[in-house]
Amino acid sequence: MASRKKPQLPKSVLDMKFMKKTKDRIEKEIENTQDIEGLYSNVITNEMRHASGNYISESSFVYCEDLLEGRLSFKGMNPEIERLMALEYKKDDDDTSEIKKDVSDDILSKKMESLKKRKWSSSPSECIIKKKKNK
Amino acid sequence: MKISIGDVVLPGDYCEEISQVAEKSKVIIGPGLRKEVDRVYITKPGVLKKRNPGTFWVDSYQKRYVPSRGENVIGVVVQKAGDIFRVEIGGSITAALSYLSFEGATKKNRPEVQVGDVVYAKMLVASKDMEPELVCVDSHGKKGRLGVLSDGFVFKCSLNLIRKILNPNCPLLETLKNEWPFEVAAGMNGRIWIKANSMRETIAVGNAILGAEYLNDEEIRSMCNNIAAILAGHVS
């Protein structure tokens, strides 16, 4: 692929006298790449070329089954490990609470208040809507 | 033979459900499954399992450890060879553990690891054709939960048991954790290291883990409560 993208010299330049060595080299390169493609053409099938990447193989059970970390300590046997466990637990907790609340309480209360105000101010428009509904 | 999720499967069987899912989205095919040109084939005997979304694997009984990348294992240092330690992890060959892959280690400041020490390490390189490589630090250079395991007691068990007790739904550790102080390190290579304050407590943890292999959740709970009661009765 990389060789195809390489900038190539125009033929007119290659035909010049002082470019003879370069011309020979380029011809040799082209010959070589063609040889390689020919060499494996019977081994590489079309299916191999078009094999899609929808399959990810994973040799470990840890990621398939979503297992716990294997090093654990309980009731203060190893405070260092327990600190790490607490940190991890806290992180998980934060994640779930964030998922539950898309909009925080503060923002929601402010928004609701502004909505209420708007209702007071925009009573005429409500009448219009009602009229429309009647039609 | 054509099989589906939850079936007992044998090598050579194939599963069309996996191929169907793969047409729409990405699938992760775990241990015991192999993608060939036309189908997904089973390569280990066991039970075909699925976890949403799109993770498949074969749950098989196994005692031989085959190293795979990213797993935490317990090994015994068997040799110091220049820049590396050779660590026996129960695989086909020993794994290499560089002395620089410990927290705070430099060329001048070597970690204090002796032959015969038990280490809890992460598998960094696990390839079919090369020696596996271990590290005792994470990508930030911190040791985290890895490192040399001092004192305690190591025993071996089947690879299934390790997966069973580390499953987040397993009641074993959940029941034991409020009973007495103990520390446990479970390596995916079928070795467990435990440490408690007294020999009696250590044996109790070990027996609870080994006894859980063929029990269901309810039986595990009652066994743990039994062990805790016996231990409390003897101690007080």
In this structure, the answer to whether residues A45 and A75 fall within a common structural domain is no
B160: CATH? 3.30.1370.10
- Identify the pLDDT of residue A1: 46
Q: Which of B184, B189, B193, B209 to mutate to test the interface with A (most CBs of A within 10 A)?
A: B184
CATH of the domain at B22: 2.40.50.100
Sheet strand arrangement including A71-74: A71-74, B182-187, B191-196, B153-156
Instruction: Using pLDDT thresholds of 50, 70 and 90, give the confidence band for residue A129.
Output: low
Domain, as residue range, for B91: 72-149
Per-residue pLDDT reduced to its tens digit, A31-84: 888 777 777 777 777 666 666 578 888 888 888 888 888 899 999 888 999 999
Q: Tell whether A78 and A125 lie within a shared domain.
A: yes
What pLDDT, on the 0 to 100 scale, is given for residue A112? Answer: 84
Alpha-carbon separation of residue B223 from A83, B136, B169, B174, B212 (angstroms): 29, 35, 17, 13, 8
Query: Could A61 and B57 be called an inter-chain contact, meaning their C-beta atoms sit closer than 8 Å?
Result: yes
* Interface check A75 vs B, CB under 8 A: yes
Domain boundary at B89, B118, B149, which? Answer: B149
Average pLDDT, chain B: 91
Tell me if B77 sits within 8 A of B87, measured CB to CB: yes
Distance CA B119, CA B113 (A): 9
Output the six-digit token pair for A98: 């964030």
Q: CA-CA distance, A19 to A85, in Å (whole number)?
A: 69
Same domain, A23 and A75: no
Q: Do A130 and A79 fall within a single domain? A: yes
Q: How many domains does chain A have?
A: 2
Least confidently predicted of A114-118, B187-191, B224-228: A114-118
For residues B81 and B118, give the distance between their C-alpha atoms in angstroms, rounded to a whole number: 17
* Cβ neighbours of B90 (radius 10 Å): 21
- Is residue B209 included in any domain, yes or no? yes
Phi-psi group of B76: left, alpha or beta (phi > 0 → left; psi -120 to 50 → alpha; rest → beta)? beta
Q: Report how far Cα A102 is from the mean position of its chain's Cα atoms.
A: 22
CA of A53, closest CA in chain B: separation in Å? 8
Mean pLDDT across chain A: 76
Asked whether the beta carbons of residue A68 and residue B126 sit closer than 8 angstroms, the reply is: no
pLDDT digit string, tens, across residues B17-68:
888 888 888 889 999 999 888 888 999 999 999 988 889 999 999 999 999 9
B23 touches chain A (CB under 8 A): yes
- Residue (of B112, B111, B116) closest to B77 by Cα position: B116
Does pLDDT of B87 surpass 90? yes
Q: Which of A58, A83, A96 to mutate to test the interface with B (most CBs of B within 10 A)?
A: A58
Q: Domain check: are A31 and A87 in the same one?
A: no
Looking at the domain assignment, is residue A57 inside a domain? Answer: no
> Is ipTM over 0.90?
no
Whether residues A79 and A26 share a domain: the answer is no
Give the C-alpha separation, A31 to A40, whole Å. Answer: 15
Q: Which domain holds residue A8?
A: 2-50
Q: For residue B231, which residues of chain A lie inside 8 Å, CB to CB?
A: none
Q: How many domains does chain B have?
A: 3
Residues B44 and B99 in one domain: no
Confirm whether B67 is domain-assigned: no
Instruction: Tell whether A18 lies on the interface with B, counting CB pairs under 8 A.
Output: no
How many CA atoms within 13 Å lie on the side-chain side of B4? 1
- For chain A, give the number of residues: 135
Domain for residue B230, yes or no?
Answer: yes
pLDDT band for position A107 (cuts 50, 70, 90): confident
Is the distance from CB of B185 to CB of B74 less than 8 angstroms? yes
Q: The tokens of A81 are what?
A: 């490990």
For range B138-159, the mean pLDDT: 91
